[in-house]
Amino acid sequence: DTGVSQDPRHKITKRGQNVTFRCDPISEHNRLYWYRQTLGQGPEFLTYFQNEAQLEKSRLLSDRFSAERPKGSFSTLEIQRTEQGDSAMYLCASSLDGPGSGDYSTDTQYFGPGTRLTVL
Amino acid sequence: AQTVTQSQPEMSVQEAETVTLSCTYDTSENNYYLFWYKQPPSRQMILVIRQEAYKQQNATENRFSVNFQKAAKSFSLKISDSQLGDTAMYFCAFMNPPLGRLYFGRGTQLTVWP
């Protein structure tokens, strides 16, 4: 397994445009998380999925943000009508809440490389 | 609400020396996990070490070990025999299962110099 992957790695957009990011988790992982990280800060939780169900959303996830995980595999995070304040690194992580192949610890989140969003 | 505090924004250590990064947290929960993650300049967050609150024994992973003081709500990371590749931002994180979300501190920038 190649770990968690995210696409694109960088995105530059103009204010008011819509953007969509993709995350592919580790294949055996049933949980998927989205975080946002601004410069000089630790990541902040946005939302998470168990399989295809979105179980928790942060208050940070305004109406302009939507996340999906169809079929419990990859996930997308869409931001509509982007604002300059949306500029950040968007991190995806995945974890397993039960026994797995042994390569990964249960209930431990493994992160992707992130998507850096710049809104002009 | 859970909070995680890292009081050292920056630390530096000479190669081969030992350094300790501090972390405190606040929670009313009894069952939780604590983590240290490392984020090198390439920005990929990498797991360093994990500790379950119910375990009294401190976790160790090669040169990395923790000092977990549950009553004091303290979770420090000790890096022995520091290497240049240890230069990174280190984040302490808390998780209360089964909710799953991680609460992160603001990080400590560690620089290892030759």
Tens digit of each residue's pLDDT (9 = 90 or more) over A41-72:
999 999 999 999 999 899 888 899 999 999 88
Phi, psi for residue A83 in degrees, rounded to 5: -125, 160
pLDDT, mean of residues B77-88: 97
pLDDT tens-digit series, residues B3-59: 999 999 999 999 999 999 999 999 988 889 999 999 998 778 999 999 999 988 999
Low-confidence winner among A83-87, A105-109, B6-10, B99-103 (lowest mean pLDDT): A105-109
Residue of A nearest to B104 (CA): A42
- The residue ranking higher by pLDDT, A17 or A57, is A17
Q: Which of B 20-39 lie inside 8 A of A, CB atoms?
A: 33, 35, 37
The rounded mean pLDDT for chain B is 94
Low-confidence winner among A66-80, A88-102, B59-73 (lowest mean pLDDT): A88-102
Supply the pLDDT for residue A93: 96
Asked if A109 is an interface residue toward chain B (Cβ–Cβ < 8 A), one would say yes
Taking an 8 Å cut-off on Cβ atoms, the answer to whether A109 and B102 are in contact is: yes
DSSP state of B40: -
Phi, psi for residue A85 in degrees, rounded to 5: -70, -10
B78 and B19 Cβ atoms separated by less than 8 Å: yes
Taking an 8 Å cut-off on Cβ atoms, the answer to whether B50 and A108 are in contact is: yes
Q: Where are the beta strands (DSSP E) in A1-120?
A: 5-7, 10-13, 19-24, 31-37, 44-50, 53-57, 65-68, 75-79, 88-95, 110-111, 115-119
Phi, psi for residue A71 in degrees, rounded to 5: 65, 15
SS3 for B103? strand
Let me know the angle formed at the C-alpha of A33 by A28 and A36, rounded to the nearest 5 degrees: 145
How many contacts (CB atoms, under 8 Å) link A and B? Answer: 64
pLDDT, mean of residues A34-43: 93
Contacts of A6 in chain B (CB under 8 A): none
Asked if A57 is an interface residue toward chain B (Cβ–Cβ < 8 A), one would say no
Is B102 exposed, middle or buried (CB count within 10 Å of its CB: 0-12, 13-18, 19+)? Answer: buried
Sequence letter at residue B90: Y
- The residue ranking higher by pLDDT, A20 or B56, is A20
Asked if B105 is an interface residue toward chain A (Cβ–Cβ < 8 A), one would say yes
